[in-house]
Structure 1
Amino acid sequence: MLEPLGVDATCELVYREMLTHPGEGVAALAQRLGLSREDVGIALDQLSSLALVRQSYEPSGRQRPVSPEVAMRILLERQSAELEAHQHRLALSRAAATQLIAEASEAMADPQQVGVELLVGIDRIREWLSQLATEIQGEVLTFAPDGAQTQDNMDASRPLNLGLLQRGVRLRTIYLESIRSDAPTLDHVRSLIRSGAEVRTAPLLPTRMIIADRRLAMLPVDDHDSGRGAVVFSESPTVQALHALFESVWERARVVGGAPPSSKDADLAPQDAAALKLLAEGHTVESIAKRLGVSPRTARRITTSLQDRLGARGRFEAGVKAVRRGWLPMRD
């Protein structure tokens, strides 16, 4: 019961027995629980390190358990501190990854680099896509992480997509789950499906991406600013790895027009699960809104609802309680 809070089964048994029979020593505890004295001694050391038992001021000098209320407060505060430290490490990791991407982007601009092309500006990207549309033979795979699509984007992509479908090219696209709440985007998607496209949705997508015929892959230099350009990889292990990433997300994504999530997922909808994961990682409401493809107001409503359902007063407590409920995995 207390394992999600860092207390293993043996320690919990010893702690509970000490609450029931305060003042007993190692030998008596071992006899009652059917454990060796060594096991009880190890458990007492661990409980002491967690501040769940303290040295008694009585002449016996034996250890005594803190009250369950104090124990829960100690354990929750400890978990909150660990979550905060984990979020700090995530922030540092994201900063390091951002730096790496920036350095890689500069390298990609090197015209001498084989198999990499840098496209600068929206016009250049659209020209490249128009040219690509005439060359594609078999399949186009797309991550579309912007949520509701703008009318300009839909108008620009529609003739290209329909032209590909008419030539027998297979189109597979993954949008964010949030498009199901946007009527114009959903109408656009359904129109593509009627023409032969395959479309699924996922709560989160790692990046914007297009893969053509498993030989070319285009990714943005900056997910938040398309105007900075895009990078095209060709005939490389990078393309193979990106293709594997797409297939992995596709397998878990939900078909548009398909069945709703199974009953085992009904306790937490896919979008709520994604929001909870981001909340526990330390994302702000604005960041969660961007990642889910919804408005800040909607993101605030989702996160507030999650905290209310968990009975949590803040994101750290929400993370702890979500782990205990099984909505988030336990950290190693």
Structure 2
Amino acid sequence: MLHTWEVGDATDTVYREMLRSPGIGIAALCAKLNLTEDQARDALDKLADLALINASWDAVGSARPVSPHLGFQALWAKRQAEIAGQQKALDEARARMASLIDDYMTEYAGARGSGMERLTDLVSVRDCLERLASETQQESLAFAPGGPQTEANRTASRPLVQDLLTRSVSVKTVYLESIRNDVGSVEHSTWLAAQGAAIRTVAHLPFRMQIVDRRAALIPLQLEDSAQGALLVEEPAVVSVLCALFDMVWATAVPLGTAAAPTGDGLSPQEQELLRLLAQGLTDEGVARKLGVSIRTERRMVTKVSELLGAQSRFQLGQRAAEMRLL
């Protein structure tokens, strides 16, 4: 259906009617679909922009529908190009953010009253999270690359989330795609969604992060290891950048309960991220950690992707990925 491509109901209805009634004119469309002429012409303009209609070959001033197969191939190619552009912008934002955080941590992490506070032990981090949750009034945003890791963690987090939702706080969390393969994590995420939280997944997250009311953020002192403590950031400029990063990731993430659409090469977003991480020179252990999967699962994914791309070695896999513009 055309709703998938973010066009209105009238556009979808007009296209279907043109398929059923070849050669139908604007007046007939208006009468049959109970549309005004402006509505009908607006729908035709949108269909033309989407390359789903062409000027008629045998009737001057009228239009004919393009075959749905050909038309949706063009739409699919356009959407893929848009997603590729978003992914490129996201990757660039990740790199800029990592650099910015490193710079701020070097200059200000030890200073009090500068909009930064260093929390060096897990007890301090947990206390800070509880305080931030109690102070949240409008919105709680989170990256959770480790997912709801253990049953104890999942059980402990539920009262905090319930309290936020009871106070009509908007709760948005992004997990790794890999949580979909863990029964406990799926059950917990489904429970969160049933309570009113919004849950989405992506193939890779830059680091763990909690943002409160877009005024304060908690990020790891070491981006690759959240167990080493955290940095409470209340500097408006830095929080604004972190919020922008969250919004970019959220826009490309897949809602819980919706399967991630494969690319034209049959690769899932997680498999595409696998190729990108391998191209960066990461070891199997490094790739597995960033994807949130076991080394065994990561190696199975490499084997599957190699078979899909017809590669006989890791080197050839990189070559094939570059030739097919998957990197």
Deviation at 1:210, TM superposition (A): 0.7
1:271/1:257 CA distance change after superposition, 3 Å? same
Give the match for residue 274 of structure 2.
275
The residue correspondences of 1:247-286 to structure 2 (distance < 5 A) are 247-258=247-258, 260-262=259-261, 264-265=263-264, 267-286=266-285
The residue correspondences of 1:74-223 to structure 2 (distance < 5 A) are 104-112=104-112, 114-147=114-147, 149-223=149-223
1:101/1:253 CA distance change after superposition, 3 Å? closer
**What are the ranges of 5 or more consecutive residues in structure 1 without an aligned counterpart?**
1-93
1:139/1:102 CA distance change after superposition, 3 Å? closer
Q: Deviations over 1:140-175 (max 9, x none)?
A: 110011146222321222111111011110000000
Whichever residue aligns with residue 205 of structure 1, its letter is L
Give the match for residue 288 of structure 2.
289
Deviation at 1:266, TM superposition (A): 6.7
Structure 1 contact 108–118 (Cα < 8 Å) conserved: no
Deviation at 1:232, TM superposition (A): 1.1
Whichever residue aligns with residue 322 of structure 2, its letter is V
Q: Secondary structure at the match of 2:168?
A: coil
Give the match for residue 324 of structure 1.
323
Structure 1 contact 118–231 (Cα < 8 Å) conserved: yes
Give the match for residue 300 of structure 1.
299
Give the match for residue 48 of structure 2.
none
What is the number of residues matched between the two proteins? Answer: 232
Give the match for residue 12 of structure 1.
none
1:102/1:182 CA distance change after superposition, 3 Å? same
Deviation at 1:129, TM superposition (A): 1.0
Structure 2 contact 267–305 (Cα < 8 Å) conserved: no
Deviation at 1:110, TM superposition (A): 2.4
Give the match for residue 241 of structure 2.
241
Deviation at 1:119, TM superposition (A): 1.1
- What stretches of structure 1 move > 4 A for 4+ residues in a row? 97-104, 263-266
Q: Secondary structure at the match of 2:149?
A: coil
Deviation at 1:271, TM superposition (A): 1.2
Whichever residue aligns with residue 305 of structure 2, its letter is L
Give the match for residue 309 of structure 1.
308
Q: Secondary structure at the match of 1:301?
A: helix
Task: Tell me the distance in 2 between the aligned counterparts of 1:227 and 1:261.
Answer: 30
State the TM-score, normalizing by the size of structure 1: 0.65
Q: Secondary structure at the match of 2:199?
A: strand
Percent identity of equivalent pairs: 41
1:139/1:266 CA distance change after superposition, 3 Å? farther
1:234/1:99 CA distance change after superposition, 3 Å? closer
1:250/1:100 CA distance change after superposition, 3 Å? closer
Structure ID, larger Rg: 1
Task: Tell me the distance in 1 between the aligned counterparts of 2:158 and 2:115.
Answer: 29
State the TM-score, normalizing by the size of structure 2: 0.66
Task: Tell me the distance in 2 between the aligned counterparts of 1:231 and 1:244.
Answer: 18
Deviation at 1:319, TM superposition (A): 1.6
Whichever residue aligns with residue 153 of structure 1, its letter is N
**What are the ranges of 5 or more consecutive residues in structure 2 without an aligned counterpart?**
1-94
Deviation at 1:137, TM superposition (A): 0.4
Q: Deviations over 1:170-221 (max 9, x none)?
A: 0000000000010101100111111100000000011111111010011001
Task: Tell me the distance in 1 between the aligned counterparts of 2:228 and 2:263.
Answer: 42
Task: Tell me the distance in 1 between the aligned counterparts of 2:98 and 2:244.
Answer: 22
Q: Deviations over 1:281-331 (max 9, x none)?
A: 2111111110010001000111122223323233332122112224x14xx
1:253/1:294 CA distance change after superposition, 3 Å? same
Deviation at 1:277, TM superposition (A): 1.2
Give the match for residue 228 of structure 2.
228
Q: Deviations over 1:59-104 (max 9, x none)?
A: xxxxxxxxxxxxxxxxxxxxxxxxxxxxxxxxxxx9xx98986674
Task: Tell me the distance in 2 between the aligned counterparts of 1:235 and 1:99.
Answer: 16
1:166/1:151 CA distance change after superposition, 3 Å? same
Whichever residue aligns with residue 295 of structure 2, its letter is P
Structure 1 contact 145–204 (Cα < 8 Å) conserved: yes
- Relative CO higher for 1 or 2, CA cutoff 8 Å, sep ≥ 6? 1
Q: CA RMSD in A?
A: 2.3
Q: Secondary structure at the match of 2:143?
A: strand
Deviation at 1:134, TM superposition (A): 1.3
Instruction: Indicate the larger mover: 276-285 or 176-185.
Output: 276-285
